[in-house]
Amino acid sequence: MFSKTCEYAIRAMIFIAQQSKDGSRVGIKDIAKGIDSPEHFIAKILQDLGRKGVVQSLKGPTGGFYLDNSGRKTTLATIVKAVDGDDIFSGCGLGLKQCSDKHPCPLHHEFINIRKDITNMLNKTKVGDLQEQLDKKLTFLRRD
Amino acid sequence: MFSKTCEYAIRAMIFIAQQSKDGSRVGIKDIAKGIDSPEHFIAKILQDLGRKGVVQSLKGPTGGFYLDNSGRKTTLATIVKAVDGDDIFSGCGLGLKQCSDKHPCPLHHEFINIRKDITNMLNKTKVGDLQEQLDKKLTFLRRD
DNA sequence: CAATTAAAAGACTTTTTTGTCTTTTAATGA
DNA sequence: TCATTAAAAGACAAAAAAGTCTTTTAATTG
């Protein structure tokens, strides 16, 4: 469904939302441990998301990654688009370049509702909401 | 959603169903042209599906790939499982090894219905049905 | 301002996926 | 039975994704 890169990105965003809710910042090592990902790999991903304005960061002592209140309202759709592009929102399920309502591939109609549901879900789900469920221990980011 | 390999596999299965409905066989070159795929690549994919009993083939003159009536009832689920495994049916959306109803990842609940819809769709859609829609020119396998 | 801390940047490697080419095996029909 | 046809098998190559490592830049604090 998502690339590994995108999975790490979503997990990291939720973790950062959680760790920075008191206004502090969280370092790359803690993030890597917290979401069980390769340290340098998630660093690269977050740097990319930083350039795109999806996550905030600060260098030096007391530095790290953080999300402000508006960042916590970031939707999964924003993250997925930034990392994987919008293939999942609009690409053809059978990989045809020419596939549309007018010129549908054999799976086009079967896919329409599924794609709509995925899009709705990604558009409405916010990082902050997922972080709150995590805080309540209703969900988990790793084994523990 | 699916790997390229799986996309080619589904397209090829529909094409073979169409071309072999009169009891004849269709060669790898015609398949590659018909679904716009690399010839040797789709050959390898179909050999694998052949070994798994998902498609039938015959060597020599008048040989080629074909589907009998029971083959035409093959579901997309069968093809997808044979090619991509069952990640799409049961894997965690965030790539966690430990993810279940009891120990859900942050996206677990959001994904449950989507996964159910995808599974239903793949289980109920048969190669033969897709081929009939193609015959009626309601859908397309390539530009034309 | 110098030492320290932590992210940014970028080169590099490994693994997986995708794609290509050549040789072998099996079936057909003259 | 021999030439031909077409898939099977398997080695190989290219591209993309995933992961690692080193150097540079920027912020903080004494």
Contacting residues of A for B113, CB less than 8 Å apart: 117
pLDDT of residue B86: 94
The alpha helices in chain B, defined as continuous H runs, are 4-19, 28-35, 39-51, 76-84, 87-90, 108-124, 127-135
Q: Nearest protein residue to D21's C1' (by CA)?
A: A40
Chain A span 52-71 residues with beta carbon within 7 Å of strand D: 58-63
Model confidence at A144: pLDDT above 80: no
Burial of B85-118, coded b for 16+ CB within 10 Å and e otherwise, reads: eeebbebbbbbbeebeeeebbbbbebbeebbeeb
In angstroms, the CA B112 to CA B117 distance is 9
Burial of B29-45, coded b for 16+ CB within 10 Å and e otherwise, reads: eebbebbbbeeeebbeb
In angstroms, the CA B80 to CA B23 distance is 25
Average pLDDT for residues A29-36, to the nearest whole number? Answer: 98
pLDDT in tens, B50-68: 999 999 999 999 999 999 9
In angstroms, the CA B129 to CA A112 distance is 17
pLDDT of residue B142: 87
Do B94 and A4 touch, CB atoms closer than 8 A?
A: no
Average pLDDT for residues A33-51, to the nearest whole number? Answer: 98
ipTM entry: 0.94
Confidence of residue A143 (pLDDT cuts 50, 70, 90): confident
Model confidence at B144: pLDDT above 90: no
pLDDT in tens, A48-102: 999 999 999 999 999 999 999 999 999 999 999 999 999 999 999 999 999 999 9
Question: How many residues are recorded in chain B?
Answer: 144
Do B141 and B35 touch, CB atoms closer than 8 A?
A: yes
pLDDT in tens, A4-32: 999 999 999 999 999 999 999 999 999 99
| % of chain A residues with pLDDT over 90 | 98
Model confidence at B143: pLDDT above 90: no
- Going along chain B from its start, the domains and CATH numbers come out as 4-135 (1.10.10.10)
Among B1, B8, B42, B110, most A C-beta atoms within 10 A, so best to mutate, is B1
Q: Is B132 on the interface with A (CB under 8 A)?
A: no
pLDDT of residue A44: 98
Model confidence at B27: pLDDT above 80: yes
Q: Is B90 on the interface with A (CB under 8 A)?
A: no
Q: Measure the CA dihedral A95/A125/A75/B108, to 10°.
A: -60
Confidence of residue B83 (pLDDT cuts 50, 70, 90): very high
When the pLDDT of each residue in chain B is averaged and rounded to a whole number, the result is 97
pLDDT of residue B5: 98
Among A105, A119, A124, A127, most B C-beta atoms within 10 A, so best to mutate, is A105
Q: Please give the C-alpha separations between residue A64 and each of A47, A55, A73, in angstroms, as whole numbers.
A: 11, 11, 20
The SS3 call for residue B66 is: strand
Do B3 and B73 touch, CB atoms closer than 8 A?
A: no
On strand D, nucleotides with any atom < 7 Å from a protein CB are: 4-11, 17-22, 25-29
Model confidence at B34: pLDDT above 90: yes
Confidence of residue A142 (pLDDT cuts 50, 70, 90): confident
Q: Is B106 on the interface with A (CB under 8 A)?
A: yes
- How many whole angstroms from its chain centre is CA B73? 12
Closest to B41 (Cα-Cα) out of B28, B51, B25, B54: B28
> Which residue of chain A is at minimal alpha-carbon distance from B36?
A96
Q: Is B129 on the interface with A (CB under 8 A)?
A: no
Write the single-letter amino acid at A131: Q
pLDDT of residue B82: 98
Estimate the crossing angle of helix B4-19 against helix B76-84, to 10 degrees: 140
Average pLDDT for residues B23-41, to the nearest whole number? Answer: 97
